[in-house]
Amino acid sequence: MPDAETIVVGAGPAGLACAAALRRSGGSVIVLEKADRVAASWRHHYDRLHLHTHKRQSGLPGLPMPAAYPKYPSRDQLVAYLEDYAAHHRIAPRFGTTVLGVRQRAGWVVETDTTTLTAGNVIFATGIVGWPLRPAWPGMDSFPGRLIHSSDYANPRPFSRCRVLVVGLGNSGGEIAMDLCDAGNAVSLSVRSPVNVVPRDLLGVPILTLAILQRSLPYKLVDALNAPILRLAIGDLEPFGLRRPAKGPMTQVAENGKIPLLGRVDGFDQDERTGERDQRSVVLCCLLAA
């Protein structure tokens, strides 16, 4: 007899949602998690992080986010919600369990650091955060400043009075750049490719809600309809060194799987702060960005 119909590897949002759906359908499920709590990756994201999607579209199946939450919940609010979600659906992951291997034999055999389990199905919900892509650039060994990846960034305190170069302008890079700028650092951006910038809300409506309402339309038509409104809302970013791509936001998502930069755009305003600064250069490597 197998230990469960399904084994889910990972107790983040995807793993918990899968486990809840399986339990509702009457299936038996075991959730394995190498950390000691649910949502381990979310607990280590930078302090400033808030969701870019409205809470109505961000809740998992079977339990909406609390009405008391703001429109765009914080990192800590999401973690609390995921803890409540696991309790609500009576999901009790086996924490501190590392999966060492999975092989097929009359179903699936899952080897962990503590035991061997069998199941008819295995779902991997391990995410991508645990494996950041770190570059190997010439001169890194002799660089005198601080060189970190965005996955290691928490807040601007270690960068007080520094000049900072943020490499990449995805959503992590953009928000971290604003965080550093708001703290009084001299921040520059290195952006390799043209980037679509989309406000988190458009005409008072969450941008994701508009995308859902328009999803029955061809994506190129959606981009054509939204282009004049986006130009009015965002303005011209070329004076700040940002080029607009030939493809609109929905076309980039559909054809390239590339998510536009969402949220505030006022963080790109030129900053002419004066005063002495530490002249060490600091490179912040945000490779989740474009």
Q: Give per-residue pLDDT as tens, 66-114.
A: 999 999 999 999 999 999 999 999 999 999 999 999 999 889 999 999 9
158 plus 113 within the same structural domain: no
Nearest CA-CA partner of 270 in 231, 241, 235, 232: 241
- Looking at 124, 139, 165, which one is the last position of a domain? 124
Per-residue confidence band for 230, with pLDDT thresholds at 50, 70 and 90: confident
Nearest CA-CA partner of 10 in 26, 33, 29: 33
- Give the chain's domain count: 2
Per-residue confidence band for 289, with pLDDT thresholds at 50, 70 and 90: very low
Is 190 inside a domain boundary? yes
120 plus 155 within the same structural domain: no
pLDDT at 62: 96
Average pLDDT of the chain to the nearest whole number? 87
Full-model pTM: 0.83
Per-residue confidence band for 265, with pLDDT thresholds at 50, 70 and 90: very low
Structural domain harbouring 70:
4-124
Q: Which strands make up the sheet holding 147-149, listed edge to edge? A: 147-149, 281-285, 163-167, 186-190
Is 290 inside a domain boundary? no
117 plus 158 within the same structural domain: no
Is 142 inside a domain boundary? no
Per-residue confidence band for 127, with pLDDT thresholds at 50, 70 and 90: confident
Q: Give per-residue pLDDT as tens, 6-16.
A: 999 999 999 99
114 plus 227 within the same structural domain: no
For the domain that residue 73 is a member of, what is the CATH number?
3.50.50.60
pLDDT at 210: 85
pLDDT at 264: 55
High-pLDDT (> 90) share of the chain, %: 54
80 plus 12 within the same structural domain: yes
Is 141 inside a domain boundary? no
98 plus 180 within the same structural domain: no
93 plus 164 within the same structural domain: no
110 plus 201 within the same structural domain: no
C-alpha pair distances (Å), 86 with each of 18, 55, 147: 11, 18, 37
* Residue 287, pLDDT above cutoff 90: no
207 plus 272 within the same structural domain: yes
199 plus 262 within the same structural domain: yes
175 plus 280 within the same structural domain: yes
Mean pLDDT (whole number) for 192-196: 89
